[in-house]
Amino acid sequence: MGVDIKITKEVLLEEIDQEVVLFHPQTQRYFALEGVGVLFWKRLSEGLGVEDILAEILEAYEVDEATLRRDMALFLQSLEKESLIKVEKT
């Protein structure tokens, strides 16, 4: 993908069962993650890059790479729109 992604410092996280709820105090908005979204967020918070995370998801789930890349791009756009992450193209 050629991007560097950083989690916005102000974002608060709460794990509830197998879901992650993100809250941005400045925007006062909540964002819920499930399934692959939770895995992606956890790996991102551990400092993994997008390509490493995509490789792990491809290995763990039955999905073709083109579909995963398209869906992940949409997911990242949603997170960026909500000011939960900052995306910089590298």
pLDDT of 89: 78
Q: Looking at this protein, which amino acid is placed at residue 9?
A: K
Residue 43 — very low, low, confident or very high, per pLDDT cuts 50/70/90?
A: very high
The torsion angles phi and psi of 47, rounded to 5 degrees, stand at: 95, 5
Task: Count the Cβ atoms, other than its own, within 10 Å of residue 51.
Answer: 11
Q: Looking at this protein, which amino acid is placed at residue 14?
A: E
| Count of residues making up the chain | 90
Euclidean distance between CA atoms 49 and 14, whole angstroms:
22
Rounded to the nearest 5 degrees, what angle is found at the Cα of 11, between the Cα atoms of 8 and 12? Answer: 155
Euclidean distance between CA atoms 43 and 64, whole angstroms:
20
Residue 74 — very low, low, confident or very high, per pLDDT cuts 50/70/90?
A: very high
Q: What is the pTM of this model?
A: 0.85
Domains, in order of start, for the chain: 3-89 (1.10.10)
